[in-house]
């Protein structure tokens, strides 16, 4: 399967703990995006990478959030000191540089107790 | 501020009905409009529209864009229970040199329920 993959699919954590999610994009795509989706809302943009460079960050991405894509392949999204408001589906997507169509992974559902 | 508004937010129909979903947008430097289908998991791509008046069609689904009036519609004919999903509209904007801005701006989606 050459689609976007994410790990884990589900994560339950206690408030104050740190969590890390991984995304593996479609192999030939050099752009990778992170979105957050809560119930009843469309996905909201968090950040994106072109190769290993983080080109844009949303103001939604507080200083507790950090994302990396060290070798321009997979990416990680870390949330430090989780809060209940962080509970959401975290979606990763990828695309080629000149293509608008983004292909989404299955998402990681985070529940903060 | 850039925004995408979808209507209705929810819709219940019976199998065989035809539905029209609406998407209006206000975006600086519009580049393209995309439709996705989401069934309890990741959004799956349906259509990308860049030019006004040119219908995109795939089976029972079709979509068209009006760049003058800043809206798009998604039509589903002869609906089936498998069409039950949230349909998301998203817009891409461009940078000054024509490249893609990067992020997509999504509407809240239309939740379609098709009853047998």
Residue B96 has pLDDT above 60, yes or no: no
Average pLDDT of the residues in B74-95: 94
- For A26-56, give one letter per residue: b (16+ CB within 10 A) or e: beebbbbbbbbbeeeebbbbbbbbbeeebee
Q: How confident is the model at residue B53 (pLDDT cuts 50, 70, 90)?
A: confident
CA–CA dist B25, B72 (Å, integer): 9
Whole-number pLDDT of residue B42 = 86
Contact status, residue A19 vs residue A82, Cβ threshold 8 Å: yes
Average pLDDT, chain B: 92
* Contact (CB, 8 A) for A19 and A11: yes
**Percent of chain B, pLDDT > 70?**
94
Q: Cβ distance A47 to A56 under 8 Å? A: yes
pLDDT at B99: 56
Place of tokens 């999610």: A21
Rounded to the nearest angstrom, the minimum Cα separation between B43 and chain A is 6
Above pLDDT 90, what percent of chain B? 77
User: What is the C-alpha separation between B67 and B5, in angstroms, rounded?
Assistant: 15
Does A65 reach chain B within 8 Å, measured CB to CB? no
Query: Pairing state of beta strands B56-58 and B3-7?
Result: unpaired
Each residue's pLDDT tens digit, A64-113: 999 999 988 999 999 999 999 999 999 999 998 878 899 999 999 999 99
Confidence at residue A42, expressed as pLDDT on a 0 to 100 scale: 94
CB B16 within 8 A of CB B79: yes
> Residue A1: which residues within 8 A CB-CB, separation 6 or more?
none
Position B103 scores a pLDDT of 84
Q: Are B42 and A105 in contact (CB < 8 Å)?
A: yes
Name chain A contacts of B92, Cβ cutoff 8 Å.
100
- Where would I find the H helices in A42-94? none
Closest by Cα among A73, A1, A69, A82 to A36? A82
A48 interfacial to chain B (CB closer than 8 Å): yes
**Nearest Cβ partner for B48 among A50, A100, A104:** A100
The minimal CB distance from A101 to the residues B34, B99, B103 is found for: B34
Interface contact B106-A99, CB threshold 8 A:
no
| Model pLDDT for residues A33-47, shown as the tens digit of each residue | 999 999 999 999 999
Q: Cα dihedral angle (B12, B13, B18, B21), rounded to 10 degrees? A: 0
**Across B24-38, average pLDDT:** 93
Is the pLDDT score of B94 beyond 80?
A: no
- Least Cα distance to B33 among B100, B112, B104 occurs for B104
The predicted structure's pLDDT at residue B101: 65
Query: Is 90 exceeded by the pLDDT of residue B41?
Result: no
């Amino acid at each position: 399967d050459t689609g976007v993959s994410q790990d884990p699919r589900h994560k339950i954590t206690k408030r104050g703990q740190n969590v890390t999610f991984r995304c593996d994009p479609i192999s030939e795509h050099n752009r990778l995006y992170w979105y957050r989706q809560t119930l009843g809302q469309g996905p909201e943009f968090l950040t994106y990478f072109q190769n290993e460079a983080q080109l844009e960050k949303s103001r939604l991405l507080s200083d507790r959030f950090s994302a990396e894509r060290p070798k321009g392949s997979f990416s990680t999204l870390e949330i430090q000191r989780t809060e209940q408001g962080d509970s959401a589906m975290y979606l990763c997507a990828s695309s080629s540089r000149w293509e608008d169509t983004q292909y989404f992974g299955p998402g990681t559902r985070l529940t903060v107790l | 501020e850039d925004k995408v508004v979808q209507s209705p937010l929810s819709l219940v129909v019976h199998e065989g009905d035809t539905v029209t979903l609406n998407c209006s947008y206000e975006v600086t430097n519009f580049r393209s409009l995309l439709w996705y289908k989401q069934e309890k998991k990741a959004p799956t791509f349906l259509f990308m529209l860049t030019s006004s008046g040119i219908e995109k069609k795939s089976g029972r689904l079709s979509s068209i864009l009006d760049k003058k009036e800043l809206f798009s519609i998604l039509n589903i004919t002869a609906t089936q229970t498998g069409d039950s999903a949230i349909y998301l509209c998203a817009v891409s904007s461009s940078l000054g040199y024509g490249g893609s801005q990067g992020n997509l701006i999504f509407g809240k989606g239309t939740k379609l329920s098709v009853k047998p």
